[in-house]
Amino acid sequence: MIRVLFVCLGNICRSPMAEAIFRSKVKKAGLNQQLEVDSAGTGDWHIGEPPHEGTSEILFKQSIPTDGIKARQVKQTDLDTFDYIVAMDAGNLGELHEMAGMKSTGSISRLMDYVTDSEFEDVPDPYFDGNFEEVYEMVEVGCEKLLQHIQNEKSL
């Protein structure tokens, strides 16, 4: 089983959006038996909460389910059990590298690292500006490119 973890700050906007989108893509590709997807936050403010209403609304419009997604905080064990740990921005990436030290067994990267033709390195946090549409577009493309990367790397 290949395990993918998406990480943002509070785990209510960007990373649950990525989790839901990626799950949808994995299902469409018929790879449910090969890939497991989750999300978490570096902060602990929203533990147990469902995705932000802005995230839920845009995913609902796209017919992408958010069933079972609840905010949680990244744990040290995540760094050993996930093959791909995908941060939404440089701040989250730095925190993950700091947590991992030399112990991580997975690949730690940013989602936009997989979008080679993007002018953006980070997925902006819509929690403050409400721009869920722009974030959705970035995350959707990032998830598509990440899935292609994993399929090529793991010969799926």
Catalytic residue among 13, 14, 38, 78: 14
The total of other beta-carbon atoms located within 10 Å of residue 53's CB is: 11
Catalytic residue among 38, 78, 89, 125: 125
Residues 6+ apart with CB under 8 A from 143: 18, 21, 22, 25, 111
- Annotated active-site residue 23? The verdict is no
Could you tell me if 43 and 65 are in contact, meaning their C-beta atoms sit under 8 angstroms apart? no
Catalytic residue among 8, 13, 38, 110: 8
- Annotated active-site residue 3? The verdict is no
- Annotated active-site residue 72? The verdict is no
Report the catalytic residues: 8, 14, 125
